[in-house]
Amino acid sequence: MALLGAPNAGKSTLLNTLVGSKVAIVSPKAQTTRTRVLGIAMHALPDGRRAQIVFVDTPGIHDRRKRRLERAMVRAAWQGASDADLVAMLVDASRGFNDEARAIADRLGEVGKPAILVLNKIDLVRRDKLLALAATANASFAFERTFMVSARTGDGIGDLADWLAQAVPEGPLLYPEDQLTDMPLRLLAAEVVREQVFLQLHDELPYDAAVETEAWSERPDGSARVDCAVFVMRESQRPIALGKGGSRIKMIGSRARKQLTEIVGRPVHLFLTVKVKERWAEERERYREWGLEYDV
């Protein structure tokens, strides 16, 4: 099932909640997710059978077309919708069914996949407003179902998961039971670092930054050494990323290391370097790594 919606609707938060573990990065900034991210969940049916639900988190859909990366992200989101059996359109209930959401619902009609509506962030909205919102949304697209959830508090998530579990086709498991994502560790490490870049560098920088894992090596004591490069576009951004006496990059590294250690379940030594790479967003290689189309 593909999670589709405007930037910042809470798609990645919902994916993590449904999977029960952090596989996608989250930030208060729009356009956090840059690629399709797979999340895999096992869910028990009332009759005791177990269903495997495969979720695809997608980048937020918007109409900005200036940057190649933005175009590629939106392309990837729609591709995710086309590839899925079912689409869940997420709407930030506190923002309402605005023009942005309406445009997505309209285009969803062209994709021709069955879709459900998920009103997220209900912890921020009064119930009567939610009902009106559900009615408006359903007037512009024939959603199979409407769910009201809070990906943050977990409210309503059980109902959604129950419904999805009974909706998946019967058959052999597509992935091993304990697998949570198909993201390679190197990319996951880079994403965890990028999340901290988004969270800790609050100005313009997040969109001008990219992270790449340059080396991953196993140490004899069972720990891993991971070297990541943080790319910025301009020399003037280097000191911003580094912070006073290197304090910022140090803090980014220490938070990311902690997360990464939790995710891989063993000690990680993380080394970050800030590099100026003016044209990282125009390099074919980057797009291949992220699974994005370059020619968009």
Ligand X SMILES: Nc1nc2c(ncn2[C@@H]2O[C@H](COP(=O)(O)OP(=O)(O)OP(=O)(O)O)[C@@H](O)[C@H]2O)c(=O)[nH]1
Give the binding site for ligand X (CB under 6 A): 5, 7-13, 26-28, 30-33, 59-60, 120-121, 123-124, 150-152
Nearer to Mg ion, 31 or 200 (CB): 31
Choose the contact partner of 124 out of ligand X, Mg ion, none; CB within 5 to 8 A by kind.
ligand X
Nearer to ligand X, 30 or 42 (CB): 30
Residue 68 is encoded by which pair of tokens? Answer: 């190649």
Choose the contact partner of 245 out of Mg ion, ligand X, none; CB within 5 to 8 A by kind.
none
Taking the complex as a whole, how short is the minimal distance between the CB of residue 79 and ligand X, in angstroms? Answer: 15
Choose the contact partner of 39 out of ligand X, Mg ion, none; CB within 5 to 8 A by kind.
none
For Mg ion, the binding residue among 2, 4, 10, 12 (CB under 5 A) is: 12
Nearer to Mg ion, 33 or 237 (CB): 33
Taking the complex as a whole, how short is the minimal distance between the CB of residue 91 and ligand X, in angstroms? Answer: 10
Is 27 a binding residue for Mg ion by CB under 5 A? The answer is no
Distance, CA of 267 to CA of 125 (rounded, Å): 41
**SS3 of residue 224 by DSSP:** strand
For Mg ion, the binding residue among 16, 31, 33, 237 (CB under 5 A) is: 33
Choose the contact partner of 151 out of ligand X, Mg ion, none; CB within 5 to 8 A by kind.
ligand X
Taking the complex as a whole, how short is the minimal distance between the CB of residue 151 and ligand X, in angstroms? Answer: 4
Nearer to Mg ion, 27 or 237 (CB): 27
Give DSSP secondary structure letters for 136-181.
Answer: HHHHHS--S-EEE--TTT-TTHHHHHHHHHHHSPPSS-SS-TT---
Nearer to ligand X, 10 or 80 (CB): 10
Choose the contact partner of 123 out of Mg ion, ligand X, none; CB within 5 to 8 A by kind.
ligand X
Taking the complex as a whole, how short is the minimal distance between the CB of residue 207 and Mg ion, in angstroms? Answer: 14
Q: For the chain, first and last CA: distance in Å?
A: 24
Nearer to ligand X, 61 or 224 (CB): 61
DSSP 8-state secondary structure symbol assigned to residue 67: S
Distance, CA of 296 to CA of 70 (rounded, Å): 9
The answer to whether the CB of 281 falls within 8 A of the CB of 69 is yes
What sections of the chain are H helices per DSSP? 11-19, 68-83, 99-111, 127-140, 157-167, 185-200, 205-208, 238-242, 247-264, 284-290
The answer to whether the CB of 110 falls within 8 A of the CB of 69 is no
Distance, CA of 161 to CA of 223 (rounded, Å): 35
The total number of residues written for the chain in this structure: 296
Distance, CA of 260 to CA of 20 (rounded, Å): 16
Taking the complex as a whole, how short is the minimal distance between the CB of residue 268 and ligand X, in angstroms? Answer: 23
Choose the contact partner of 152 out of ligand X, Mg ion, none; CB within 5 to 8 A by kind.
ligand X
Distance, CA of 197 to CA of 208 (rounded, Å): 10
Nearer to ligand X, 28 or 172 (CB): 28
Residues of the shown chain interacting with Mg ion in the complex, contacts defined by CB under 5 A: 11-12, 32-33
